[in-house]
Amino acid sequence: MSSDRMKAVRIHGFGDESVLAVESAPIPELGPGDVLVRVHAAAVNPVDSLVRQGIFAVSQRPLPWIPGWDFAGTIAAVGTETTAWAAGDVVYGRPSLARDGSYAQYLAVDAGEIAAIPRSLSLESAAAVPLVTLTAWKALFDLGGLEPGGTVLVHAGAGGVGTMAVQLAHHRGAKVVATASGDGIALARSLGADEVIDYRSEDFTVRGRFADVVLDTVGGETLERSYGVVAPSGTLITIAGAPDEAKATELGIEAHTFVLDSNGPRLAEIAGMIDAGDLRPVVTRVLDLDEVAQAHRLIDSGHTHGKVVLRVG
């Protein structure tokens, strides 16, 4: 492969995992405020599948696109206006959805969207942190206003966002109730859930309006049934559907969804929490870049615990 080319996963059209093509692509051009990262690991998220299927349009750019919006790697070069970083720095981040992603040997990313990786983590584990942790933080604290002593219900507490939401809420001093099943029940408990509801055998709605904040990562029927468990003046946040504003108003609650912004300074704060032992990513599978189709099948199954990571280096 020539010096201006790299190995990458690209989609030339939308569809199932068969549209993920491992091929040669140009190394991305560096803007003045960018850094060029040699990617060592890239995490796989449900949003990657939605982009692949054409359900979630992230860009007006013509295809092909490189998916992947979670990474850890080493800075190879910096833009002309980038002063905070230098070649050799080991960083992680959640880059802008509007640009090519991290399923590639190199990634051009805005310097404000990255942070130094947690010192206590491997590159594979660090790659699993940014998107899900930033998502959980924004949902629970920025939108949900979760306070110490409050009660939160986290749906799919053993999933990617759920595992970090449970830990963040526990660290904040909230009472954490999570839904899970099978091995996920013990996992959610180990991360700080005070109670875990086995959604296969227990109806979470029988508890009435008990949760100050509900974080829905499942959508569909789970989202519809969640309005009724939010306490008066509480907040329902979903990352898996569109909230029903009329229903929320009728119940005297708030309901939100959001598109996540990149946030380098918050990732630096998260790295500090991880190194202090207050947070830990849950990585259940590490696959090679060539196994990207298998990684997407795992994500599409909806039954993975924690995160699936691609080893790129």
CATH assignment of the domain containing 165: 3.40.50.720
pLDDT digits (tens, 9 = 90+) for 180-224: 999 999 999 999 999 999 999 999 999 999 999 999 999 999 999
What tokens appear for 77 in the block? 């070069």
CB 48 within 8 A of CB 296: yes
pLDDT digits (tens, 9 = 90+) for 269-301: 999 999 999 999 999 999 999 999 999 999 999
DSSP state of 229: G
Mean pLDDT rounded to a whole number for the chain:
96
Asked whether residue 294 is domain-assigned, the answer is: yes
Helix, strand or coil for residue 167? helix
* 102 closest CA partner among 242, 292, 307, 304: 292
Q: What is the CA angle 16-20-24, rounded to 5?
A: 165
Q: Which domain holds residue 178?
A: 132-256
Residue 2 pLDDT level (bands cut at 50, 70, 90): low
How high is the pLDDT of residue 60?
85
CB 71 within 8 A of CB 37: yes
Asked whether residue 300 is domain-assigned, the answer is: yes
**Dihedral sign of CA atoms 99, 101, 105, 108 in order:** positive
Q: Is the pTM of this model over 0.85?
A: yes
pLDDT digits (tens, 9 = 90+) for 93-138: 999 998 999 999 999 999 999 999 999 999 999 999 999 999 999 9
CB 238 within 8 A of CB 222: no
What tokens appear for 205 in the block? 């709605």
Helix, strand or coil for residue 101? coil
Domain harbouring 121, CATH code: 3.90.180.10
Residues 226 and 292 both lie in one domain = no
Asked whether residue 265 is domain-assigned, the answer is: no
Residues 15 and 84 both lie in one domain = yes
How high is the pLDDT of residue 57?
82
